């Protein structure tokens, strides 16, 4: 990562310094990201978990278990909250919680279900939501949390309900409902009895083992009251939500499962357009998976770290997370707002350095659009535009930034010298 002894020594002095708190680095990122979020009417905030697996052959680094027991992986677990604007462009990291998995969960079902929140991994989801909530509130920004099935739990839903922000959570099972004046029912049964709210066509892209198709999606909406039951005390707690169910019908290939999204939300849903907006918003949750891919592979490659302690890995991983967000932001800006000026993301010195690296001593005058700047940046990273046939990705943009930053730094030092 660093090309000189001095850079390496400086990096290790930072990363292995116990006076440097990874949470303070993350909090600084969250504050800046929330200020950018406040420039929009609202931002989506996908929250998701991942593992950072590192080499620890001797087991002396103090890392925890990741992956399956058979894989015997070592590393750290993380839950992160990524702010993205309504077009799907990242605005920054709003929350990041690291932890080291030690021991194992109770094997008996009753023991697992009756543990307090402080003994569950759900606690780290709740903490990440709280960090993002606090940053957004401080900046006066509105968030819309998006959470996949892994985060569907009564503890997390209750924590979301205590915020002043919107949220959508994908259900991981057919939950019990409270029916006023009647017997308890099941969620899917209740939704199935509702009249059809509408339908839409979803373009499903091709991928390995799946052909592209046009899926017909049926949408049903119902206001329901979930029934949360405390396994230890037997006490039940009502939890009102709006359920939006998007289910593929009549277009599923033989032998394949239909697309099936059962979503809970606190956003008002009064019309079909409202319901489709909830579904569309949830579809942007994949942006956090793209961020994870950039963070853990390509030029960031956080999992290649040879740092010797969990604390040092947390510091380095948090810094690299900020780099990964910037790469993803550049990638998306070039695709969603190609004609916007390059300085919406690149500094004036970076734009100037980019022109000089592209054209030499006589770079052209005039403004540069973000798509053009990103194309030049990708070329620095080895992107063969005319042969690729697709937009540049995170790997070539990361390589390009590695060339651009030193050039911009030289121009900055030259300006200081000339003064």
Condensed to tens digits (0 to 9), the pLDDT of residues 32-75 reads 999 999 999 999 999 999 999 998 877 788 888 887 766 778 99
pLDDT exceeds cutoff 60 at 107: no
pLDDT at 184: 67
pLDDT at position 416 is: 87
- Does the pLDDT at position 10 exceed 50? yes
What is the reported pLDDT for 29? 96
pLDDT of residue 103: 64
Q: Per mean pLDDT, which of 92-106, 223-237, 334-348, 373-387 is the most reliable?
A: 334-348
pLDDT recorded at residue 192? 84
Question: What are 304-360's pLDDT values in tens digits?
Answer: 988 889 999 999 999 999 999 999 999 999 999 999 999 999 999 999 999 999 998
Nearest to 29 by CA among 139, 187, 107: 139
342 falls within a domain: yes
Confidence of residue 385 (pLDDT cuts 50, 70, 90): confident
Does the pLDDT of residue 187 top 60, yes or no? yes
* Token pair belonging to 149: 């099935």
Domain assignment of residue 389, given as a range: 337-418
How many structural domains are present in the chain? 2
Find the helix or strand (DSSP H, E) in which 5 lies.
helix 5-15
Q: Is the domain of 299 the same as that of 350? A: no
Model pLDDT for residues 286-300, shown as the tens digit of each residue: 999 999 999 998 889
Q: Give the per-residue pLDDT at 365.
A: 85
Give the number of C-alpha atoms closer than 13 A to the C-alpha of residue 155, restricted to the C-beta side. Answer: 20
Looking at residue 113, what is its pLDDT?
A: 62
3-state secondary structure of 33: helix
Q: Which residue has the higher pLDDT, 190 or 2?
A: 190
User: How many alpha carbons lie under 13 Å from residue 256 in its C-beta half-sphere?
Assistant: 15
Alpha-carbon distance of 193 to 188, in angstroms, equals 9
Do 47 and 127 belong to one domain?
A: yes
Rounded to two decimals, the pTM is: 0.90
Residue 206 lies in a domain: no
Within this chain, do residues 132 and 50 fall inside the same structural domain, yes or no? yes
Asked whether residue 386 carries a pLDDT value surpassing 80, the answer given is: no
The verdict on 357 and 382 lying in the same domain is yes
Instruction: Provide the Cα torsion 174, 227, 158, 97; round to 10°.
Output: -40
Q: Are residues 137 and 64 in the same domain?
A: yes
Give domain status of residue 269, yes or no: no
pLDDT of the residue at 112: 55
Is 402 part of a structural domain of the chain? yes
Question: Position of tokens 């959470």?
Answer: 147
Tokens of residue 343, six digits:
């300085």
Domain check: are 387 and 298 in the same one?
no
Residue 260 lies in a domain: no
Query: Does some domain include residue 238?
Result: no
310 in any annotated domain: yes
207, 126 contact by CB (below 8 A): no
| Domain stops at, among 322, 346, 367 | 322
Q: Measure the CA–CA gap between 133 and 39, rounded to whole angstroms.
A: 16
Q: What does the pLDDT average to over 102-120?
A: 64
Residues in the chain: 419
Same domain, residue pair 26 and 129: yes
Whether residues 317 and 352 share a domain: the answer is no
Distances (CA, A) of 1 to 12, 113, 311: 12, 44, 19
Q: Residue 366 pLDDT > 50, yes or no?
A: yes
Q: Looking at the structure, tell me whether residues 385 and 317 fall in a common domain.
A: no
pLDDT at residue 204, as a whole number: 86
The rounded distance, in Å, linking the Cα atoms of 229 and 328 is: 41
Q: How far apart are CA 357 and CA 360, in angstroms?
A: 6
* 71 & 138 share domain: yes
Of 299, 322, 345, which residue is a domain's last? 322
pLDDT level of residue 110 (50, 70, 90 thresholds)? very low
Domain final residue pick, 297, 322, 347: 322
| CB-CB contact of 198 with 170 (8 Å) | no
| CATH code where residue 305 lies | 3.90.350.10
Q: Give 293 or 188, the one with higher predicted confidence.
A: 293
- Residue 67: inside a domain, yes or no? yes
Give 261's strand partners: 246
Q: Domain check: are 403 and 295 in the same one?
A: no
Q: pLDDT-derived band of residue 208, with 50, 70 and 90 as boundaries?
A: confident
Percent of the chain with pLDDT over 70: 94
SS3 labels along 341-366:
EHHHCCCHHHHHHHHHHHHCCCCCCC
Residue (of 281, 56, 71, 304) closest to 167 by Cα position:
281
Which tens digits make up the pLDDT trace of 123-138?
A: 999 999 999 999 999 9
Query: Does residue 283 carry a pLDDT above 80?
Result: yes
- Regarding whether 347 and 317 lie in a shared domain, the answer is no
Mean pLDDT of the chain: 89
């Amino acid at each position: 990562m660093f090309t000189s002894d001095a850079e390496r020594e400086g990096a290790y002095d930072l990363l292995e310094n116990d006076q440097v708190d990874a949470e303070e680095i993350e909090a600084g990122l969250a504050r800046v990201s929330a200020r950018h979020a406040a420039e929009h009417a609202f931002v989506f905030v996908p929250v998701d978990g991942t593992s950072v697996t590192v080499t620890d052959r001797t087991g002396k680094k103090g890392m925890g278990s990741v992956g399956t027991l058979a894989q015997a992986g070592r590393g750290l677990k993380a839950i992160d909250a990524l702010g993205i604007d309504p077009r799907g462009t990242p605005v920054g990291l709003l929350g990041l919680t690291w932890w080291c998995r030690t021991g194992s969960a109770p094997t008996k079902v009753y023991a697992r279900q009756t543990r307090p929140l402080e003994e569950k991994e759900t606690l780290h989801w709740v903490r990440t939501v709280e960090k993002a909530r606090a940053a957004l509130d401080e900046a006066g920004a509105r968030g819309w949390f998006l959470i996949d099935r892994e985060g569907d739990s009564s503890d997390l839903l209750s924590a979301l309900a205590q915020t002043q922000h919107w949220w959508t959570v994908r259900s991981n099972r057919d939950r019990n409902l409270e029916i006023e004046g009647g017997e308890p029912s099941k969620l899917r049964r209740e939704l199935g009895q509702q009249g059809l709210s509408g339908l839409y066509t979803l373009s499903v892209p091709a991928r390995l083992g799946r052909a592209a198709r046009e899926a017909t999606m049926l949408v049903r909406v119902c206001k329901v009251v979930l029934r949360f039951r405390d396994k230890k005390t037997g006490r039940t707690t009502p939890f009102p939500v709006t359920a939006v169910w998007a289910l593929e019908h009549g277009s599923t290939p033989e032998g394949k499962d239909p697309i099936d999204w059962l979503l809970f939300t606190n956003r008002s849903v009064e019309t079909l357009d409202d319901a489709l907006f909830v579904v569309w918003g949830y579809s942007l949750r994949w942006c956090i998976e793209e961020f994870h891919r950039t963070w853990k592979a390509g030029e960031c490659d956080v999992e290649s770290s040879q740092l010797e302690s969990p604390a040092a890995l947390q510091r380095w991983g948090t810094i690299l997370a900020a780099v990964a967000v910037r790469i993803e932001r550049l990638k998306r800006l070039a695709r969603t707002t190609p004609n916007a000026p390059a300085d919406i993301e690149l500094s004036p010195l970076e734009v100037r350095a980019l022109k000089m690296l592209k054209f030499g001593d006589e770079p052209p005058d005039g403004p540069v659009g973000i798509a053009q700047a990103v194309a030049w940046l990708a070329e620095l990273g080895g992107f063969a535009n005319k042969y690729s046939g697709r937009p540049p990705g995170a790997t070539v943009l990361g390589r390009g930034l590695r060339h651009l930053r030193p050039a911009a730094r030289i121009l900055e030092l030259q300006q200081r010298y000339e003064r």
